[in-house]
Amino acid sequence: MTSETRIRVLIVDDSAIVRKVLTDALSREADIEVVGTAPDPFVARDKILSLQPDVLTLDIEMPRMDGVTFLKRLMHYHPMPVIVISSLGTASSRAALEALEAGAIDVLAKPGGPQSVGDLRLSLASKIRAAKVARVTAPPPMEAAPIVRPARMLQVQPFPASAVIAIGASTGGTEAIQKVLVDLPENCPGIVITQHIPAVFSRSFANRLNEVSTIRVREAEDGDQIEPGLALVAPGNFHMLLKRAAAGYRVEVKDGPMVCFQRPAVDVLFHSVAQAAGSNATGVILTGMGSDGALGMLAMKKAGARTIAQDEATCVVFGMPKEAILHGGVDRVLPLSAIPGAILSEARR
């Protein structure tokens, strides 16, 4: 592969060790080239202009200017695909989610040292490939108003007690899921969500969704009961399955091998929903790289569930929805804005 066809990456991190770990992790990838590194946003600004990278990896906590502030300015003046690489602290997790809202494509947990290269290599490379083909959306206003919990989505006509909604997403999914949930009423059927996201970040993600949605949202725990108006988010690094219970459904949260290179995996959730809920379920697959969820959505459709995929025009990456469509598991292909209404109409059937 020639240098002209490789994905050009600039690594921005104040730690020389982390810069080396990330460079080493990518050095074995034939289609990726680290064209430079920068210890802070000011050096990064100059190198972006001189090196013209395709993708940027960005630390959050840096001297002189924090990563989120730099990202907001970058997306305003020079939009490009950015992957946030952050530490696992709660404050850092919140900042990483703020970066996703500001236009970052994805988030990854910061490596702990040179020994982390093996674990990091596949996930980092796949996220960089997804970022390269991602649709970078128009930046939000520099001084955007904070999102507040809506008060308008009151209870609507009741849904069948046995109805359940399953949502799967990856690259770009944190924002897509938020846009779906904020338009659902407080008495909507119970929801189970698998988003490809690192451990620790998933709890901050669920808490953020809970703040901006009419419905309740929390990170799932093993044995949690499915309830109307409640969305459960699979914890990072654990699979989540839907199980029948004495009254309705519950979730099982468990360890296990990666599926489609992911844990949690959308396929694991969707296959369990097909088995436990069958025709009582509505499945939704949103933006993401790869094929996770395609076979599970097909299983849901064969079991009688209604299935919805996000369309290409509104996806950050039209990978997972495209694969689900190609496998024949999708009933309806819709723009993101139309999906909440479709979920509610399908859940009543």
239 belongs to the catalytic site:
no
The per-residue DSSP string of 204-232 comes to: HHHHHHHHH-SSEEEE--TTPBP-TTEEE
Residue 270 amino acid letter: F
Per DSSP, 143 falls in state: T
Sheet holding 281-285, edge to edge: 216-219, 230-233, 190-195, 164-169, 281-285, 306-310, 332-334
Catalytic residue among 92, 93, 126, 170: 170
What are the distances in angstroms from CA 79 to CA 32, 138, 318?
Answer: 20, 8, 19
DSSP one-letter string for 19-61: HHHHHHHHTT-TTEEEEEEESSHHHHHHHHHHH--SEEEE-SS
Identified catalytic residue from 183, 224, 292, 311: 292
**Selected catalytic residue, list 196, 224, 239, 267:** 196
User: What is the C-alpha to C-alpha distance for residues 325 and 329, in angstroms, rounded to an integer?
Assistant: 6
Alpha carbon distance 107, 305 (integer Å): 32
Cβ–Cβ < 8 Å for 134, 81: yes
Active site residue 40: no
Nearest to 250 by CA among 280, 287, 224: 224
Examine the residue annotation and report whether 202 is marked as an active-site residue of this protein. Answer: no
State residue 124 phi and psi, 5-degree precision.
-65, -45
Helix axes 90-101, 201-212, angle to 10 degrees: 60
- Tokens read off for 91: 């404050």
Do strands 216-219 and 190-195 pair parallel, antiparallel, or not at all (unpaired)?
unpaired
Residues classed as catalytic:
170, 196, 292
